[in-house]
């Protein structure tokens, strides 16, 4: 199928061939009939992409601060590599889609194949959208009209925040598509409306529907007009749907409001607010969030957990339904706002001219009837199908997220392995990453990798909750497996992996515990090899804050930060001790003391079979300028201190004082190259399976020990 993508680095907009997505649980697979180009939002993205690095930095000062913080901890070159890689990512455009249901995902009720629906899907021939971001289109509403639903819901949510009552006088500042929709909805609500814009064509539309207007482009005074419109009392409310950098719009809104008037911002304007504007009239000011309650809530959007109807009457989906009902009843007129219907093939040309068409209204993309439904596509001109007998590992990768493309796949690309197939659920990221690193083909169906006899190795970098399942399926398909940490999220998953590994003992199984392969870690191990007493190790991880609603914090999806990430350092300490963990105790910062989540502020004490001890401080409440990882090892009257896998210092080691690398090296390249070599040539597992299982069990034990306040023994 084809999809509209924009490169944020160059600003180029393309119609790219990508594999057709597969339907997911809780989602609908939809064949697009029409989608609306949101001229304001999408023009802003296109102009951002076409701007130079300096312009991009000025547009996102908060991102600049993040880059400066990263330079302090990771160094200049790694930071620049990350920045350029992020800018090189393709950005799917569009969020106003109408089409027909092709497949209904598991757990979705109320929809059937063939239903005419809207969604917030992108400009693509096939989209896969969560059911709570879809709604059925009533009979009599065309796809072109229905494609305005999501954008119209943005206007509706802003109006709901204003809470207008019959007869109130409301000003709408900015008569783009959202402003024109808002004008109609307010008039339908029994309000008098004053529309402000500088485009006479849009003002004429608003007047046709019954609004009063003022043309600021022709010298009209918005404040004076609004005062006359309200008979000198001031407007009851102002809805700002304009897009401008100036703060004058909010200042004018305050001036034209009555005492205790309401101002709601839907658009994007300067927010250098004057206290006197709001203080003297006791005005209220609120920013509206997109389509309504549920937006950006993963539980609602991705997991399908609806809000109780009696307590949250208008969710984003119910806003969609209200808009469609108004269209069906003829109270929201869309046809006058459709400027052009454009064949999907011509989409890139429309975006090239979007910056020139500042006053464009509804541009609707029309889709072909028979899209390409293939889920596996060749990338470029692939070589012939590789043979296992060629003495090279043949790789199939499942997952193309940030970690894969920034860290892991670059390491595999440096080896002599054949990069055969890369899979991702949506297809866009896998196509981009696959082309960048030289994969032969891309797919949205990971089973293509398992069934391909030429592929002998599967690399898994998906979300943590799928790791164990993919590992078992890959091993049972006779493949070697490299899986990013963690191996499993709970003992049941671990048991299933152990069973699969036991039945395929001739296959390599490696978890991405890369830090033990860092040149600093291997140097430490060699310096400690002749020790005569147990080690005492202190590992401090300045982990950094992650929002509580991030998927990694969800025990069912990410496992939480100790199981999901803390296992890295448990493995490192076990490697240096050269001994398994036998006992674990842990404690968290008390939740009741107002520190937010407590499980990412944890101290874990590990006891090893040889008597060594390790203390892991995993802390999310530090400062970014401090090294993320610091390790200190005490033994035999000597000390080793490692900062951020860049500088290792020795105290009391005679011939060794310091080792410094030009950049941070956490061992990714060494780990991957040795794994690929053993796949091709054979050999013992790079990390013994028993060690991987011990580390995984120790991470489970750390969480349980902190929860229960007990010490957990790890079975041998």
Would you state the pLDDT for residue 42?
75
What is the distance, to the nearest Å, from the Cα of residue 61 to the centroid of all Cα atoms in its chain? 20
Q: How many other C-beta atoms lie within 10 A of the C-beta of residue 630?
A: 16
Q: What is the DSSP string of 29-47?
A: EEEEEEEEE-HHHHHHHHH
Query: Is the confidence at residue 708, as pLDDT, over 90?
Result: yes
Query: What integer is the mean pLDDT of 642-670?
Result: 94
Would you state the pLDDT for residue 85?
63
Would you state the pLDDT for residue 66?
61
Query: What integer is the mean pLDDT of 669-675?
Result: 97
Query: Is the confidence at residue 65, as pLDDT, over 70?
Result: no
What's the order of all strands across the beta sheet hosting 169-173? Answer: 212-215, 192-197, 169-173, 235-240, 257-265, 284-287
Between 110-114, 166-170, 206-210, 399-403, the lowest mean confidence (pLDDT) is in 399-403
Query: What integer is the mean pLDDT of 115-137?
Result: 97
What H or E segment, with its residue span, contains residue 49? helix 39-50
3-class DSSP state of 1: coil
What sign for the dihedral angle of Cα 217, 218, 223, 226?
negative
Distance of alpha carbon 372 from alpha carbon 2, whole angstroms: 8
Instruction: Please report which confidence band the pLDDT of residue 297 belongs to, taking 50, 70 and 90 as the band edges.
Output: very high
Q: How many other C-beta atoms lie within 10 A of the C-beta of residue 688?
A: 11
CATH class name, domain 151-287: alpha beta
Residue 664 near residue 644, CB atoms below 8 Å: yes
Tokens of 350: 């429309």
Distance of alpha carbon 81 from alpha carbon 124, whole angstroms: 30
Would you state the pLDDT for residue 389?
58
Would you state the pLDDT for residue 68?
60
Counting residues of the chain whose pLDDT is more than 70, the rounded percentage is: 91
Domain with CATH 3.90.180.10 in the chain: 2-147+334-366
Residue 618 near residue 541, CB atoms below 8 Å: yes
Instruction: Please report which confidence band the pLDDT of residue 82 belongs to, taking 50, 70 and 90 as the band edges.
Output: low
E-strand ranges in 613-708 read 613-619, 629-635, 638-643, 647-651, 658-660
Query: Is the confidence at residue 393, as pLDDT, over 90?
Result: yes
Would you state the pLDDT for residue 385?
73
Distance of alpha carbon 223 from alpha carbon 200, whole angstroms: 18
Q: What is the CATH number of domain 376-512?
A: 3.40.50.720
Residue 585 near residue 709, CB atoms below 8 Å: no
Q: Which residues pair with 2 in a beta bridge?
A: 17
Distance of alpha carbon 269 from alpha carbon 275, whole angstroms: 17
Query: What integer is the mean pLDDT of 656-680?
Result: 95
Instruction: Please report which confidence band the pLDDT of residue 67 belongs to, taking 50, 70 and 90 as the band edges.
Output: low
Per DSSP bridges, beta strands 394-398 and 457-460 are: parallel
Q: How many other C-beta atoms lie within 10 A of the C-beta of residue 383?
A: 9
Q: How many other C-beta atoms lie within 10 A of the C-beta of residue 419?
A: 23
Query: Is the confidence at residue 397, as pLDDT, over 70?
Result: yes
Counting residues of the chain whose pLDDT is more than 90, the rounded percentage is: 81
Residue 546 near residue 619, CB atoms below 8 Å: no
CATH number belonging to the domain at 515-713, selected among 3.30.360.10, 3.40.1180.10, 3.40.50.300, 3.10.20.30: 3.30.360.10
Q: How many other C-beta atoms lie within 10 A of the C-beta of residue 582?
A: 17
Between 53 and 346, the more confident residue is 346
pLDDT digits (tens, 9 = 90+) for 319-338: 999 999 999 999 999 999 99
Tokens of 542: 């300045």
Q: Which residues pair with 510 in a beta bridge?
A: 482
Q: What is the DSSP string of 298-311?
A: HHHHTT--PPPTTT
Q: How many other C-beta atoms lie within 10 A of the C-beta of residue 662?
A: 8
pLDDT digits (tens, 9 = 90+) for 191-217: 999 999 999 999 999 999 999 999 999
Tokens of 549: 């609603």
Query: What integer is the mean pLDDT of 561-569?
Result: 96
Per DSSP bridges, beta strands 169-173 and 192-197 are: parallel
Tally DSSP H helices, then E strands, for the chain.
25, 32
Instruction: Please report which confidence band the pLDDT of residue 50 belongs to, taking 50, 70 and 90 as the band edges.
Output: low
Q: How far is CA 431 from CA 21, 90, 377, 424, 482, in A?
A: 12, 10, 9, 9, 21
Would you state the pLDDT for residue 374?
94
Distance of alpha carbon 255 from alpha carbon 230, whole angstroms: 12
Residue 458 near residue 487, CB atoms below 8 Å: no
Domain with CATH 3.40.50.720 in the chain: 151-287, 376-512
Query: Is the confidence at residue 549, as pLDDT, over 90?
Result: no
Buried b (16+ CB within 10 A) or exposed e, 478-512: ebbbbbbbbbbbeeebbeebbebbeebeebbbbbb
Nearest to 488 by CA among 501, 477, 497: 497
Would you state the pLDDT for residue 504?
92
Would you state the pLDDT for residue 353?
79
Is the bond leading into 118 cis (omega within 30 degrees of zero)?
Answer: no
| Mean pLDDT of all residues belonging to the chain | 92
Between 89-98, 123-132, 250-259, the lowest mean confidence (pLDDT) is in 89-98
Reported pTM: 0.89
Instruction: Please report which confidence band the pLDDT of residue 376 belongs to, taking 50, 70 and 90 as the band edges.
Output: very high
Between 59-73, 229-243, 559-573, 700-714, the lowest mean confidence (pLDDT) is in 59-73
Would you state the pLDDT for residue 10?
76
Instruction: Please report which confidence band the pLDDT of residue 80 belongs to, taking 50, 70 and 90 as the band edges.
Output: low
What sign for the dihedral angle of Cα 349, 354, 359, 363?
positive
Per DSSP bridges, beta strands 509-511 and 480-483 are: parallel
Query: Is the confidence at residue 357, as pLDDT, over 60?
Result: yes
Between 238 and 63, the more confident residue is 238
3-class DSSP state of 341: strand
Distance of alpha carbon 480 from alpha carbon 497, whole angstroms: 13
Residue 455 near residue 449, CB atoms below 8 Å: yes
Tokens of 534: 């147990």
Distance of alpha carbon 608 from alpha carbon 579, whole angstroms: 6
Residue 632 near residue 538, CB atoms below 8 Å: yes
Would you state the pLDDT for residue 382?
55
Q: Name the H helices within 452-518.
A: 467-476, 491-502
Q: How far is CA 349 from CA 48, 125, 344, 346, 352, in A?
A: 17, 17, 10, 6, 5
Q: How many other C-beta atoms lie within 10 A of the C-beta of residue 648?
A: 23
Would you state the pLDDT for residue 139?
96
Query: Is the confidence at residue 595, as pLDDT, over 70?
Result: no
State the fold for domain 2-147+334-366. Quinone Oxidoreductase; Chain A, domain 1 (3.90.180)
Buried b (16+ CB within 10 A) or exposed e, 20-31: bbbbbebbbbbb
Query: Is the confidence at residue 81, as pLDDT, over 90?
Result: no
Instruction: Please report which confidence band the pLDDT of residue 671 belongs to, taking 50, 70 and 90 as the band edges.
Output: very high
Query: Is the confidence at residue 531, as pLDDT, over 80?
Result: yes
Q: Name the H helices within 230-297.
A: 248-256, 275-279
Would you state the pLDDT for residue 361?
86
């Amino acid at each position: 199928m084809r999809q509209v993508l924009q490169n944020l680095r160059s600003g180029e907009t393309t119609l790219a061939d990508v594999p057709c997505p597969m339907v997911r649980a809780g989602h609908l697979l939809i064949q697009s009939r029409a989608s609306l180009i949101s001229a304001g939002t999408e023009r802003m993205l296109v102009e951002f992409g076409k701007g130079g690095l300096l312009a991009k930095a000025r547009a996102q000062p908060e991102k600049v601060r993040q880059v400066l913080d990263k330079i302090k901890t990771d160094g200049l070159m790694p930071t620049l590599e990350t920045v350029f890689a992020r800018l090189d990512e393709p950005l799917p455009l569009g969020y106003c889609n109408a089409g027909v249901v092709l497949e209904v995902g598991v757990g979705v009720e109320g929809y059937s194949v063939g239903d005419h629906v809207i969604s917030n899907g992108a400009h693509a021939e096939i989209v896969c959208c969560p059911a709570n971001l879809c709604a059925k289109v009533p009979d009599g509403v065309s796809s072109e009209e229905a494609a305005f639903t999501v954008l119209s819901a943005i206007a509706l949510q802003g109006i709901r925040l204003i809470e207008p009552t019959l007869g109130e006088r409301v000003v709408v500042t900015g008569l783009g598509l959202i402003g024109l929709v808002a004008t109609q909805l307010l008039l339908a609500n029994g309000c008098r409306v004053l529309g402000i814009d500088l485009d006479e064509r849009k003002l004429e539309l608003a007047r046709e529907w019954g609004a009063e207007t003022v043309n600021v482009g022709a010298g009209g005074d918005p404040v004076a007009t609004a005062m006359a419109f309200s008979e000198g009392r001031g407007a009851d409310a102002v809805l700002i749907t304009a897009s401008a950098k100036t703060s004058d719009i909010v200042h004018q809104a305050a001036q034209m409001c009555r005492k205790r008037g309401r101002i709601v911002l839907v658009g994007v304007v300067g927010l250098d607010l004057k206290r006197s504007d709001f203080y003297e009239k006791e005005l209220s000011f609120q920013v509206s969030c997109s389509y309504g309650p549920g937006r950006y809530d993963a539980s609602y959007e991705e997991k399908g957990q609806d809000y109780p109807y009696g307590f949250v009457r208008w969710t984003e989906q119910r806003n969609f339904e209200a808009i469609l009902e108004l269209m069906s009843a003829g109270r929201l007129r869309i046809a006058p706002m459709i400027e052009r219907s454009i064949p999907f093939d011509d989409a890139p040309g429309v975006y090239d001219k979007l910056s020139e068409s500042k006053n464009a209204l509804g541009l609707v993309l029309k889709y072909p009837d028979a899209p390409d439904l293939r889920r596996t596509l060749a990338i470029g001109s692939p070589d012939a199908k590789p043979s296992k007998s060629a003495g090279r590992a043949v790789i199939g990768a499942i997952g193309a997220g940030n970690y894969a493309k920034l860290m892991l796949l670059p390491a595999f690309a440096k080896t002599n392995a054949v990069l055969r197939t890369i899979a991702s659920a949506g297809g866009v990221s896998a196509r981009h990453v696959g082309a960048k690193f030289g994969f032969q083909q891309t797919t949205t169906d990971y089973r293509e990798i398992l069934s391909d006899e030429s592929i002998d190795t599967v690399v898994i970098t998906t979300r943590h909750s799928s790791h164990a399942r993919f590992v078992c399926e890959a091993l049972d398909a006779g493949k070697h497996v490299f899986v990013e940490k963690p191996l499993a999220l709970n003992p049941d998953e671990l048991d299933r992996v152990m069973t699969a590994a036991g039945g395929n003992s001739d296959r390599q199984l490696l978890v991405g515990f890369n830090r033990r392969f860092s040149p600093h870690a291997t140097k430490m191990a060699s310096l400690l090899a002749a020790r005569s007493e147990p080690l005492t190790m202190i590992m401090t991880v300045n982990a950094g804050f992650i929002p509580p609603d991030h998927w990694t914090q969800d025990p069912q999806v990410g496992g939480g930060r100790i199981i999901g990430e803390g296992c890295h350092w448990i493995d490192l300490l076990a490697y240096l001790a050269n001994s398994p963990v036998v006992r674990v105790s842990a404690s968290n910062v008390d939740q009741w003391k107002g520190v937010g989540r407590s499980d990412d502020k944890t101290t874990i004490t590990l006891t090893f079979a040889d008597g060594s001890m390790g203390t892991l401080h995993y802390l999310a409440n530090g400062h970014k300028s401090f090294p993320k990882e610091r390790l200190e090892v005490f033994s035999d009257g000597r000390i080793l201190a490692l900062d951020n896998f860049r500088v290792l210092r020795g105290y009391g080691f005679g011939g060794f004082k310091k080792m410094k690398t030009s950049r941070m090296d956490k061992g990714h390249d060494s780990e991957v190259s040795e794994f690929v070599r053993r796949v091709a040539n054979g050999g013992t597992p790079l990390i013994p399976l028993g060690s991987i299982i011990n580390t995984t069990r120790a991470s489970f034990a750390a969480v349980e020990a902190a929860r229960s306040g007990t010490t957990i023994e790890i079975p041998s």
